[in-house]
Amino acid sequence: MSDRNLAFIYAPEIEALSYPPECPFKTARVGLTRSRLVSFGLLGLPDRAEVAPQKASLADLGKYHTARYLEELQRAAGGELTVDGLHMGFGGMDTPVFRDMFDYSAWACGAGLKAADLLLSGQADVAFNLLGGLHHAFADKAEGFCYLNDVVLACMRLADAGKRVACLDIDAHHGDGVQSAFYHRNDVLTISLHESGKTLFPWGGFENEIGVGAGAGYNVNLSLPADTYDAAFLTAFDRVPMPLLAAYQPDVIVLELGMDTLAGDPLTHLHMTNNVTADVVKRLLRLRRPILVCGGGGYNVENTVRGWALAWRTFGGEGEEDDFSIGMGGVMLASSEWAGGLRDRELAVTAERREAVEPALNANIEAVVRHVFPYHGLAPQPPLTPAQTYS
C-alpha cells in the first residue's frame, strides 16, 4: 500500500442508464470494475474511498457546450430529433438517439467535475472517473459515442483554478474533441497517443497538428501504427510524453485511460496487453502530481474491467507479490483473454509485426520531436538505433 488517497467516483443512478443494446459502448463496465475492486478488498477503505458525484447542471455543461446544443441534446433524448439535431451529429451509427443519452453524459460530466474538485481540495491524490472519457464530443457536435465532454470540463475546472494542466490521452482513438477545445491555449497541454488516423476513426490526430497561436506546441499527437505492441508503445511513451511532461511541469495530470488499445478489442487494431497500463501508471507516479483518471474506450468488456482494476491497484501501490489470480481458478487461454487475475499474459511479437510497426512509429516519434520539442526548450534527440528500440 502507499500513502496516496484514491477516490473512485461512482453514482448508483447510472446503473439504470445504458446505451442501446446493439451499441458497443457498455456503461456496465464501470459497475463491474467497482465490483471487482470490492471483491479484491481494494475499495471502501479510508484511503480507497468511493465518492458519489452529482449530475452536472446545465450551467456546468454550458462552460463548454453551447446552449443550443444542450437544448437539442435534451430534445433528442425526449424522442424529438430535429434537423438541427441531425446536423449536430445525433442519429449517426456511433451517436444513436436514445432515452438516456443526456442523463448518462451529464452524470459522467458531474463525476469528472467532482474528481477535479477532490484533487483541488487535496482530498484525493488520484481520482477515477471511469464513467467519463467522452473525448470526442465537441462544443456543439456529438461524435464517437460521446455527447458531452467530461474531459474538457474537468480540464477547464482545473485550469480555471489556476492550475497548469496536462491532459494525456492513451485511448486507441484520437481525442479530437479535447484537441479542439484547447487548440489555441497553452494552460492545458494535450498529448494524445492513439492508433493512426490512417486506419481508425476519427481519421486525424497527425503529428503536424500542434496547436495555433498561443497553443502552438501545446497540442501533441503521436500516431501508433496498427499492430503496435507493448514494447513499442513504451518506447514511444518514454520518447514523447515523459520529456514533455518533465518540461511542462504540470500541476495536475488528466489521464484518459481507454482500454481499446488491448489486443482483442473489436473496434481497434493494436496488439497491446494491460501490462502497459501498469507500466504507464508507474511512470506517471514518479512525477508526484495529482492525477484524474478518465475511462474512455474499451469494447471487450472483461478486458476493460480487468485493465481498469489493474490501474487502480497500481495507483494504490499494491505490490506485484499480490497475485489476485491465486485461489480464483485463473486459467490462461490461448487468446487475449484469461480467466482470473488482473494482468494479461505477455503476447509474442513476430518479426513481421516488428517490421510493420517499428519504422513507421520511429518516423512519427521523430516528427513530434521536430515539430513540438523546440517549443518546450527540449534539445533534439538523435534517432534511435535498432539496438535501442522496442526491446
Q: What is the dihedral of CA 43, 48, 50, 55, to 10 degrees?
A: -130
Q: Which amino acid appears at position 300 of this protein? A: N
* Nearby residues of 123 by Cβ (< 8 Å), 6 or more positions away: 5, 7
What span, in angstroms and rounded, lies between the C-alpha atoms of 163 and 81? 39
Q: What gap in Å lies between CA 386 and CA 72, rounded to an integer? A: 53
DSSP state of 111: H
Alpha carbon distance 204, 196 (integer Å) = 7
State the architecture of 6-52+104-388 in CATH terms.
Answer: 3-Layer(aba) Sandwich (3.40)
Collect the ranges in the chain with pLDDT lower than 70: 1, 319-340, 381-391
- Name the pTM for this structure: 0.94
Letter string b/e over residues 294-332, b meaning 16 or more CB atoms within 10 A of that residue's CB: bbbbbbbebbbbbbbbbbbbbbbebeeeeebeeeeeeee
In angstroms, the CA 101 to CA 77 distance is 6
Do residues 193 and 224 make contact, with C-beta atoms less than 8 angstroms apart?
Answer: yes
Catalytic residue among 65, 135, 136, 271: 136
Q: What's the pLDDT at 254? A: 99
Q: What's the start-to-end Cα distance of the chain, in Å? A: 30
For 352, list phi and psi in degrees, rounded to 5: -65, -40
Nearest CA to 257 out of 209, 305, 321 is that of 305
Give the torsion sign (CA, 294, 299, 302, 307): negative
pLDDT score, position 341: 78
Phi, psi of 332 (to 5 degrees): -70, 140
Q: What is the pLDDT of residue 236?
A: 98
Determine the residue type at 285.
L
Q: Catalytic: 376?
A: no
Give the per-residue pLDDT at 2.
77
Strand partners, 7: 49, 127
Is residue 127 within 8 A of residue 150, CB to CB? The reply is: no
Q: Residue 347 carries which side chain, given as an amino acid letter?
A: L
Set of cell numbers at residue 382: 538523435
In the chain, what are the helix, strand and coil shares in percent, each to the nearest 5? 40, 15, 45
The answer to whether 275 touches 281, Cβ cutoff 8 Å, is no
> Which regions of the chain does DSSP assign to beta strands (E)?
6-9, 48-51, 126-129, 165-169, 188-195, 219-224, 252-256, 291-294, 331-332, 338-339
Q: What is the phi-psi region of residue 205: left when phi exceeds 0, alpha when psi lies from -120 to 50, beta otherwise?
A: left
Helices (H), the chain: 28-39, 58-61, 67-77, 83-87, 101-121, 150-160, 176-182, 230-239, 241-248, 275-285, 301-315, 351-371
Where are the domains positioned within the chain?
6-52+104-388
Whether the Cβ atoms of residue 136 and residue 108 lie closer than 8 Å to each other: no
Q: Which phi-psi region, left, alpha or beta, contains residue 162 (left: φ > 0; alpha: ψ -120 to 50)?
A: left
Q: What is the DSSP letter of 78?
A: T
- For the chain, the C-alpha Rg in angstroms (whole number) is 20
Nine cell digits for residue 100: 438516456
pLDDT in tens, 341-351: 799 999 999 99
